[in-house]
Amino acid sequence: MRDTASVLHLDLDAFFAAVEQRDKPSLRGKPVVVGGTGGRGVVATASYEARRFGVRSAMSTREARSRCPHAAFLSGRFPAYRAASELVMAELRAVSPLVEPLSLDEAFVDLAAAGLPDLTLPTVTEVAQRLRARVAEVTGGLTASVGLASSKFVAKVASELDKPDGLTVVPPGTEQELLRPMPARVIPGVGPQTTERLRRAGVHTVADLEALSLDELVRLLGKAHGHGLHAFARAQDDRPVVAEREAKSVSVEGTYDTDLTDRRLMEGLLTRQAGEVATRLRAHGLSGRTVTIKVRLHDFTTLSRSSTLPSPTDAAGVVARTARTLLADLDTSGGVRLLGVGVSGLADWVQEDLFADDAALGDEAADEVAPVDLEAAFPRRRTWPPGADVVHEEHGRGWVWGSGRGVVTVRFETAASPSGPVRSFAEDDPALQRWTSTEPDPGEVTTQPLSSPT
Ligand code: DCP
Ligand code: MG
């Protein structure tokens, strides 16, 4: 543990919902719930206005509707969230080269690497306040909560204390005082199972945990976990802030308006995406060892599964076959709304001789799946998920307020406009189109990890 409060943890407030409120002026100050809007959907997040009614992440949307029937229920716009996240991470990297993102809306920043004149409390506090202001400025008004402390553990705990839009600085030396009354589950690695085991041993708070000897903890939880908890209970945490590895990945993904349920269709889509990934790898002279698939289920849960190959590949067939094998282990019976394939662990050379066999194997593997007529199986029927961006020939930009019985209702407003009017159209009105702005350039090699925060 350091003797300065130079570890900063930043977490955006009600992230997805805040982006929706930014882009939909009529929803500002109102309850907003983002998540799966179908019958079996779950809540990804809720605005603070909706949380007042007891709506929480991971709750079923059905339950959320009964607690807060007047909330706006939106199905989510990932490209917009990704774009906002990138702006925030760029601001953090402008402060210090040592930035460790934990998810789209959360990161550690090591201020000891920021080249500051000193690391006194006034200096780091001032940096944190300036950073919060910059985040709001570049994102068009998103707020972030920040914790400053002498370790990752305490900085993360601190960022929660004054949410939303708060800053908590924990002066070095006061960490234990802060932690002692808190529930044991604030400690990293203490999930529901450990919490339950501790509860049965009469341990509820960090102070209770601190009272246990190392021997007792090891007996209760095993060696590794016991040692870890013994240290955390004393606010001892020396984990360094580790900058994101320059692990480039090449990935392709697609979002589907209709939930996919047909396995063969999914395999066909993965195979086609694998082909695009391989083409891009070769175009950049790259190859990689780790194949990852990303699957977002009907209820908004996002899964990713990876497999590391014995040697790097840029062969479509190898990527496709690995992706299909990974898919085979997932339960997708409820339907899938996003599928993606990526290759990471990239080397910028291919040892052609060594992998000649691989490539041959690849082409053969590509043929294993009978071609699916994707257009026929998956017609480009236009759908209108709640919250989706649209544009109308005459009325301009807006978002889907609701749809059904052949009618789609749109509210015409944008981040930059005042709250706008609502109008209804026939679902097949050619004057109305879905609108996308921030889709990543499909021809680009990204440095974004394929994994998702959800
Ligand atoms: N998220 C999700 N599913 C979950 C939890 C989170 O899809 N079970 C998404 C939605 C959140 C985002 O990740 O907006 C960030 O997660 P946080 O836990 O930081 O939650 P919020 O930012 O929404 O709220 P808070 O203000 O509590 O940070
Ligand atoms: Mg957050």
Distance between CA 58 and CA 64 in Å, rounded?
A: 10
Indicate which residue's Cα is closest to atom 21 of ligand 1.
Answer: 14
* Average pLDDT over every residue of 103-120: 96
pLDDT in tens, 431-453: 999 998 644 433 333 333 344 33
pLDDT at 372: 54
Residues 371 and 253 in one domain: yes
Q: Which of 20, 88, 105, 156 to mutate to test the pocket of ligand 1 (most atoms within 8 A of CB)?
A: 105
Lowest mean pLDDT among 77-86, 106-115, 219-228, 442-451: 442-451
Q: Residue 412: pLDDT band by 50, 70, 90 thresholds?
A: very high
Q: Identify the pLDDT of residue 359.
A: 35
Mutation test residue for ligand 1: of 19, 45, 338, 451, the one with most atoms within 8 Å of CB? 45
Provide the pLDDT for residue 245.
56
Half-sphere exposure of 319 (CA within 13 A, CB side): 34
pLDDT of residue 41: 83
Say whether both 210 and 307 belong to one domain: no
pLDDT, position 347:
67
Q: Could you tell me the distance, in angstroms and rounded to a whole number, from the CA of residue 70 to the centre of ligand 1?
A: 21
Q: Which are the contacts of 435, defined by CB distance < 8 A and separation ≥ 6? A: 389, 390, 391, 397
* CATH number of the structural domain spanning residue 331: 3.30.1490.100
Cα 14 to middle of ligand 1, angstroms: 6
**Count: domains in the chain:** 2
**Burial (CB count <10 Å: 0-12, 13-18, 19+), residue 203:** buried
Report yes or no on 43 lying in a domain: no
Q: How far is the CA of 348 from the centre of ligand 2 (A)?
A: 36
Mean pLDDT of 366-370: 45
Which residues are designated catalytic?
106
* Ligand 2 center–CA 10 separation, angstroms: 8
Cβ contacts of 192-198, under 8 Å, gap ≥ 24: 194/221, 194/225, 197/221
Q: Is residue 203 assigned to a domain?
A: yes
Task: Give 121 Cα–ligand 2 centroid separation in angstroms.
Answer: 25
Q: Are 265 and 372 members of one domain?
A: yes
CATH code (residue 226)? 1.10.150.20
pTM of the model: 0.76
Any atom of ligand 1 within 6 Å of the Cβ of 242? no
In this prediction, residues 380-407 reach a mean pLDDT of 90
Q: Is the CB of 299 under 6 A from ligand 1?
A: no
Percentage of residues of the chain with pLDDT beyond 90: 67
Under a CB-based contact definition with an 8 Å cutoff, are residues 265 and 377 in contact?
A: yes
pLDDT band at 68 (very low <50, low <70, confident <90, very high): very high
Based on the fold, state whether residues 222 and 266 are members of the same structural domain.
Answer: no
Is residue 163 predicted with pLDDT exceeding 90?
Answer: yes
- The answer as to whether 240 is a domain residue is no
Domain that holds residue 198: 188-232
State yes or no: 11 annotated in a binding site. Answer: yes
Ligand 1 within 6 A of 38 CB?
A: no
pLDDT of residue 454: 35
CB atoms within 10 A of CB 307: 13
333-356: per-residue pLDDT in tens? 888 999 999 998 776 543 332 333
Residue 183 has pLDDT above 80, yes or no: yes
Is residue 349, in this structure, part of any structural domain at all?
Answer: yes
Residue 257 has pLDDT above 80, yes or no: no
Say yes or no: CB of residue 16 within 6 Å of ligand 1.
Answer: yes
What residue type is 340 in one-letter code?
G
Give the type of residue at 401.
Answer: W
Residue 109 has pLDDT above 70, yes or no: yes
Q: Do 267 and 227 share a domain, yes or no?
A: no
The confidence score (pLDDT) of residue 79 equals 84
| Residue located nearest, by CA, to atom 28 of ligand 1 | 13
Annotated ligand binding at 118? The verdict is no
- C-beta of 6 in contact with ligand 1 (< 6 A): no
Q: Which residues have CB less than 5 Å away from ligand 2 (the ion)? A: 11-12, 15, 105
Report pLDDT digits (tens) over 32-60: 999 988 777 889 999 999 999 999 998 99
pLDDT at 1 over 90: no
Residue 382 has pLDDT above 60, yes or no: yes
- The verdict on 353 and 300 lying in the same domain is yes
Average pLDDT, the chain: 87
Q: How far is Cα 302 from Cα 400, in angstroms, rounded to an integer?
A: 23
d(C-alpha 166, C-alpha 254), whole Å: 36
Determine the average pLDDT of the residues in 195-215.
95
